[in-house]
A and B are shown apart, each in its own frame.
Chain A
Amino acid sequence: MLDVRKPMGLLFVILGALLFVYGYFFSEAVPFYTPDSWFPLKLNQPVGAFMFIFGAMMLALARFVQLHTADRELGERERELNRAERKRQRAIAKRELAAGAPDDSADAIPGELEDDAPGELASASDPGSTLSKSDDPSSTLAKSHDANSAGGSSADQKSDDITPTKTSEE
Chain B
Amino acid sequence: MNVQFIDYLVIGIYFSFVIGIGFQLKKQMVTSEDFFLAGHRIPTWVTGLAFLSANLGAIEVMGMAASAAQYGVVTAHFYWVGAIPAMVFLSLFMMPFYYGSKVRSVPEYLKRRFNEPTRAFNALSFAVMTILMSGINLYAMAKVFQILLHWDMNVSILLAAAVVLVYVFLGGLTSSIYNEVIQFFLIIFGLLPLSVLGLLHIGGFDGLSQRITNMGMTHLWRDMYSTANPLGVDWIGLLGGLGFVLSFGYWCTDFLVIQRALAAQNVRSAQRTPLVAAFPKIFFPFITVLPGLLALVILPPSLELGTKTDYDMAIPLMMGLMYPNGMLGLGLTALLASFMSGMAGNVTAFNTVFTFDIYQSYIAQNKSDKHYLWVGRIATAGGILVSILAAYLVMNFPTIMDYMQLIFSFFNAPLFATFALGMFWVRTTPKAAFIGLVCGTIATVAHYFLSEMVKIEPDLLPGYLAPLAPLVPVLKKTLTYQTVMAGNFWRAIYGFLVCFILTFVISLFTEPKRKRDLIGLVWGLSKKPSAQLPKEPWYLSPTFLGVTALLITIVINIILW
Contacts and interface: CB of A to CB of B under 8 A. Distances in A.
Interface of A: 1-2, 4, 7-8, 10-12, 14-15, 18-19, 22-23, 26-27, 30, 32-36, 42-44, 47-48, 50-51, 54, 166, 168-170
Contacts of B10: 15, 18-19
A1 B44 CA distance: 15
Interface stretch (B178-186, B360-368, B381-389, B463-471): B178-186
B13 A15 contact: yes
B201 A8 contact: no
Nearest to A33: B201
Given A14-B13, A30-B324, 4 more contacts: A2-B21, A19-B326, A34-B200, A168-B265
Contacts of A44: 324, 326-327
Contact of B193 (A4, A30, A36, A47): A47
B17 interface: yes
A43 B327 contact: yes
A169 B24 contact: no
Contacts of A27: 324-326
Q: Interface size bucket, B side?
A: 35 or more
A51 B42 contact: no
A24 B387 CA distance: 42
B538 to A, nearest CB: 16
A4 B330 contact: no
Nearest to A51: B189
B330 A47 contact: yes
29 contacts: A2-B28, A4-B181, A4-B182, A7-B17, A7-B20, A7-B182, A8-B185, A11-B17, A11-B182, A12-B185, A14-B13, A15-B14, A15-B330, A18-B13, A18-B326, A22-B325, A22-B326, A23-B324, A26-B6, A27-B325, A30-B324, A32-B200, A35-B203, A42-B324, A43-B324, A44-B326, A50-B189, A169-B43, A170-B44
B28 A1 contact: yes
Nearest to B21: A7
Contacts of A22: 6, 325-326
Interface in B40-64: 41-46
B323 interface: yes
Contacts of B326: 18-19, 22-23, 27, 44, 48
Across the A-B interface, the 5 shortest Cβ-Cβ residue pairs: A35-B203, A168-B43, A44-B326, A4-B178, A11-B17
Interface string B1-23: 00000100110011001001100
A53 to B, nearest CB: 11
B261 to A, nearest CB: 14
| Most chain B CB neighbours (cut-off 10 Å) among A4, A34, A169 | A4
Nearest to A55: B185
B340 to A, nearest CB: 14
A35 B207 contact: yes
Contacts of A50: 189
Contacts of B288: none
Interface of B: 6, 9-10, 13-14, 17, 20-21, 24-25, 28, 39, 41-46, 174, 178, 181-182, 185, 189, 193, 197, 200-203, 207, 265, 269, 323-327, 330
B6 A43 contact: no
Contacts of B181: 4, 8
Given A1-B41, A15-B10, A18-B9, A47 B327 contact: yes
Nearest to A10: B17
B58 to A, nearest CB: 22
B203 A43 contact: no
B501 to A, nearest CB: 43
B178 A2 contact: yes
A45 to B, nearest CB: 9
B203 A34 contact: yes
Contacts of A12: 185, 189
Nearest to A46: B193
Nearest to B49: A4
Contacts of A8: 181-182, 185
Contacts of B193: 43, 47
A11 B14 contact: yes
A135 B189 CA distance: 54
B7 to A, nearest CB: 10
A94 B20 CA distance: 58
Contacts of B182: 4, 7-8, 11
Nearest to A34: B200
Contacts of B41: 1, 166, 168
Contacts of A19: 10, 326-327, 330
B405 to A, nearest CB: 32
| Most chain B CB neighbours (cut-off 10 Å) among A34, A42, A51, A169 | A34
A42 B41 CA distance: 42
B17 A170 contact: no
A11 B265 CA distance: 27
A121 B174 CA distance: 39
Contacts of A34: 200-201, 203
B209 to A, nearest CB: 13
B197 A32 contact: yes
A30 B13 CA distance: 26
Nearest to A8: B182
Nearest to B175: A2
Contacts of A33: 201
B327 A2 contact: no
Contacts of B265: 168
A35 B200 CA distance: 8
Contacts of B46: 4, 168
